Amino acid sequence: PSHLMLTTAPKYCQRYCEQLHPNLVSLPIPISQEYQHKLLIPFTMIWHKRNNQNPKIVWLRETIKSLYSIN
């Protein structure tokens, strides 16, 4: 075919595409670092209040915050 197609997808789709569609090209979105934070998808962590001080929940909450917080 003599046409081009463009799509965006999460990073985890890359391996699937490489296996099933080896002719596809994967490139990062060419935007500056200062605008990349606008592409982030917010998420919410929810747990029962009785587990608020549970060491496992505290660890999970802090780990996720340290890895994905933009502040």
Parse the chain into domains and list their residue ranges: 13-68
pLDDT confidence of residue 68: 73
Q: Write out the two tokens for 8.
A: 């965006």
- pLDDT tens digit string along 5-41? 667 777 778 888 888 888 877 777 777 877 777 777 6
pLDDT at position 30, please? 75
The pLDDT score that the predictor gives to residue 58 is 92
Give the Å distances, CA to CA, from 19 to 7, 14, 23, 25, 34.
17, 9, 10, 12, 33
The residue behind tokens 């060491």 is 55
**3-7, 22-26, 49-53, 62-66: range with lowest mean pLDDT:** 3-7
**Is the alpha carbon torsion for 39, 9, 5, 33 positive or negative?**
positive
Higher pLDDT pick, 2 / 49: 49
Q: Within its chain, how far is the Cα of 67 from the centroid?
A: 11
